[in-house]
Structure 1
Amino acid sequence: MVAAAAALRRWSIPLLSCAVPAGFAVWAFPEGLAPVRAAGIITGWLGCGLLLVSLLLMLREPRLAAWLGGLERMYRWHHATGLAAYLFLLLHPLLLAANNLSSPRVAWQTLSPFTESWPVWSGWLGLLLLMGGLVTTFIRRIRYGTWRWLHALLGLGVLTGLVHLILLGIDEPVLPILAVAAGILGWRLIRGDLGLAARPYVVTSALPLAARSIEVVLRPLGDPAMVTPGQFVLVEFGNGDRYRGCGEFHPFTVSTIAGQDELHLAVKALGDCTTRMQAIEPGVAARVIGGFGGFVDPHGRAPQFWVAGGIGVTPFVALLNAGPLLHPTRLLYLYHCEADAAFLPELRATAAADPKFTLHAVETGDGVPDLGPLLPPAGELSGAECYLCGPPGLVAALKSALAARGVTAQHVHYENFEFR
């Protein structure tokens, strides 16, 4: 039963990404047209279906994320389906024009918006808006708030593209699709970005954890968020007497779920907002959405190998704080220097007290270390489930190193917070 549920989660997004655009293409499949023109129509509908899937995958709903295998996985597929949709929609006018290649003048008139009417103009406008939204995905240097609003061009591009179809006289099934797309965008705006789905909390304390890191304790002011050990939450902090919040929801991993449903969050200064949070004070109001994730299975029977980079140790700390381990577990904890290592004293104490838990703490300095001497031999990894949490560069290097030791992809689990 558990294996079937895991398989369903693993295949849910790929099946959804294939079924929706395929359904649109089958419904709209043209008959009696030249193959190139028919291909131009089909690519347009495939792009439309992929865009609808991409919109669904950007929702920040805990139950939906649990069904689809996690919020981070949803965001990766959101990017992939959005990019694939753009490519299909770019092929759409190109193939329609290619149908008239025997007459270059007619082909140009088919392709150029300057020789066409508002319905064609709206199609090109939707395509340009999609391009603008996609470009922001690959720009890492702009501030998160600026990126978020620029990324909203994707939603405007979807709506404009559907209006393009309506102006062409295609009402079915475009009007229901337009209603669904508008509903998804409105749901994300109201419940996610504006925080209608958030639960109210207040900061009760903020204590130093390591260099440039603090642990913030949140107490619920009403019904608490549904969070389990190893998960992360999206939190927006308000203003205090001296502290000014960022006005944005950011992901933070829960290190402990204490009595009275208090949440302990590990916060490392990695950007503008988290650097400002190092000065957060008690009494600051917070809004919490979640929990999300939980990529470690605490009930599995196989031995586990955990690898944490820096503040990525937090979900593993949460699992250790939740109770005794059920299976042999080894943690490889990598950090720049000991002053930078959050929770290191607690981890050493747990390793000394729990015979099922082994800690290998390594000071690496800057950059990704040579993982070869640090990883267990292939024989010790055989049959183990490997869980990775840390910077994307470290996770990528670990995946390659584990594969070289014969660990298959299905036994390697990881999570990151690159929600761009």
Structure 2
Amino acid sequence: RLNGLDKMYRLHRWLGIAALTVAVVHWWWALGTKWMVGWGWLSRPGRGPGPAHGGGAGGESLGHMLRGIAETVGEWTFYAVAALIVVALLQRVPYRVFRWTHKWLAVGYLALVFHAIVLTSTDYWAQPVGWVLALLLAAGSIAAALSLSGRIGRSRRVSGTVCSVTRFDPLRVVAATVALAPDWPGHVPGQFAFVTVDRNEGAHPYTIASAWDPKERCVEFVVKGLGDHTAQLQQQLCEGTAVTVEGPYGCFDFDDARPRQIWVGAGIGITPFIARMQYLARHPGGAPVDLFHPTTDHDPAAIERLTRDARAAGVRLHVTITPRDGRLTPDDIRRTVPEWREAGLWFCGPVAFGRALRRDFTAHGLPADAFHQELFRMR
């Protein structure tokens, strides 16, 4: 319903930022105003009778103690959660560190549930605001428990074994074919999966660069050395390596009603289009396709393989070697495909490049819903 897991992660990230913002305001409202009274900036307001907790003096004492504990828990949990959210937003923090620290947010959430239940006015629970709050707290607590128990995505995980590896050293790319267990449900071209090679490192997302054949039960992943982990994979992956694959995910499935399609696969963003071309080679027909592949690095073997796939699929391939040909521009695409207004434009690659393409093409008259982009940013 959110048009793919990548879009859901984008929403998740912005909800986290919004939650942090609201929490900072809440924290300042609770403590900052007290500090400002101490500084002489504000006057202390008059207090009315406190909330009734029932149970006589013992009940009042217990209620007062619980409120004190809840306030302390809320304050210190806020500091911890704020720090964890900042860590999650810092791209320089290694993925394995982010993965471990991010899980602790679920513990912080449960502590804040206690804070909210104790400090929410008793009268609220009998009103719609209390019912909504109770529903949200219950749903969030269930989600936190699922996260802490490792159950998220478990039903989509299958074991696999690397059965072949092809290296494209000039591109710092390795293509690994993985034979999967019978539990794998299959996938459509353009989807991705989380692959675990090292349990300490955890799962990383990779686009599936092959069409599904239930007889062979193999998938291919093309990995570029862009960070510490992916650079290590260049040496780690070999025949016989055991992996765990979770998926498939994503709605980048080339499904639109436009009479033709334009594909832009920038750099390693070419992978979903490789899978789609393999599918079209087995299932010919459909809308005419122009594939643009701008790349900074050049490997004749990789280009030959891409050309072979495009020829088999009936796709017109346009390769731009940036150091030789300059940057691919929206005008270049429009000149090459005069019927671009009738096309659906499917993009996978750097986020900034995709954003610029979308802005330019929609400004020139391409409907906004005709532009499709995989937001391959999981944190």
TM-score range, shorter chain: 0.7 to 0.9
Residues 1-38 of structure 1, C-alpha deviations (whole Å, 9 max, x = no match): xxxxxxxxxxxxxxxxxxxxxxxxxxxxxxxxxxxxxx
- The offset of 1:177, in angstroms, is 4.4
1:230 aligns with 2:190: yes
Counterpart for residue 247 of structure 1: 201
Counterpart for residue 69 of structure 1: 3
Equivalent residues in 2 for 1:209-224, closer than 5 Å:
209=168, 211-224=171-184
The AA in structure 2 aligned to 1:228 is V
Equivalent residues in 2 for 1:72-91, closer than 5 Å:
72-91=6-25
Gaps of at least 5 residues in structure 2 are: 48-66, 126-130
CA separation of 1:88 and 1:354: change in aligned 2, threshold 3 A: closer
Counterpart for residue 140 of structure 1: 91
Aligned length: 339
The AA in structure 1 aligned to 2:239 is P
CA separation of 1:93 and 1:264: change in aligned 2, threshold 3 A: closer
CA separation of 1:222 and 1:247: change in aligned 2, threshold 3 A: farther
Counterpart for residue 109 of structure 2: 158
CA separation of 1:203 and 1:189: change in aligned 2, threshold 3 A: farther
Counterpart for residue 104 of structure 1: 42
Distance 1:373 1:98 in 2: 56
Equivalent residues in 2 for 1:389-400, closer than 5 Å:
389-400=348-359
Gaps of at least 5 residues in structure 1 are: 1-66, 110-115, 239-244
What SS does structure 2 have at the residue aligned with 1:117? helix
Distance 1:137 1:302 in 2: 42
Equivalent residues in 2 for 1:314-393, closer than 5 Å:
314-323=271-280, 324-339=284-299, 343-353=302-312, 355=314, 357-365=315-323, 369=327, 371-377=329-335, 380-393=339-352
What SS does structure 2 have at the residue aligned with 1:338? coil
Counterpart for residue 128 of structure 2: none
- The offset of 1:321, in angstroms, is 0.3
Residues 70-120 of structure 1, C-alpha deviations (whole Å, 9 max, x = no match): 11100110011122222223333545676998982537x9xxxxxx93222
Aligned-residue sequence identity (percent) comes to 26
Distance 1:123 1:247 in 2: 31
Distance 1:133 1:342 in 2: 44
Q: Does structure 1 conserve the Cα–Cα contact (< 8 Å) formed by 2:146 and 2:152? A: no
CA separation of 1:177 and 1:208: change in aligned 2, threshold 3 A: same
Computing the radius of gyration from Cα coordinates, the structure with the larger value is 2
CA separation of 1:193 and 1:250: change in aligned 2, threshold 3 A: farther
CA separation of 1:359 and 1:81: change in aligned 2, threshold 3 A: same
Q: Does structure 2 conserve the Cα–Cα contact (< 8 Å) formed by 1:310 and 1:342? A: no
- The offset of 1:350, in angstroms, is 4.2
1:265 aligns with 2:234: no
What SS does structure 2 have at the residue aligned with 1:275? helix
- The offset of 1:227, in angstroms, is 1.9
CA separation of 1:408 and 1:129: change in aligned 2, threshold 3 A: farther
- The offset of 1:129, in angstroms, is 2.8
CA separation of 1:313 and 1:85: change in aligned 2, threshold 3 A: same
1:307 aligns with 2:245: no
Q: Does structure 2 conserve the Cα–Cα contact (< 8 Å) formed by 1:201 and 1:285? A: yes
**Structure of greater relative contact order (alpha carbons < 8 Å, 6+ residues apart):** 2
What SS does structure 1 have at the residue aligned with 2:316? strand
Equivalent residues in 2 for 1:8-23, closer than 5 Å:
none
- The offset of 1:345, in angstroms, is 1.7
Distance 1:131 1:91 in 2: 12
The AA in structure 2 aligned to 1:118 is I
CA separation of 1:209 and 1:246: change in aligned 2, threshold 3 A: farther
Counterpart for residue 199 of structure 1: 158
Distance 1:263 1:191 in 2: 25
- The offset of 1:147, in angstroms, is 1.4
1:417 aligns with 2:368: no
Distance 1:315 1:194 in 2: 22
Distance 1:126 1:408 in 2: 46
TM-score, length basis structure 2: 0.78
TM-score, length basis structure 1: 0.71
Distance 1:375 1:155 in 2: 46
Distance 2:301 2:295 in 1: 9
The AA in structure 2 aligned to 1:318 is A
- The offset of 1:410, in angstroms, is 1.7
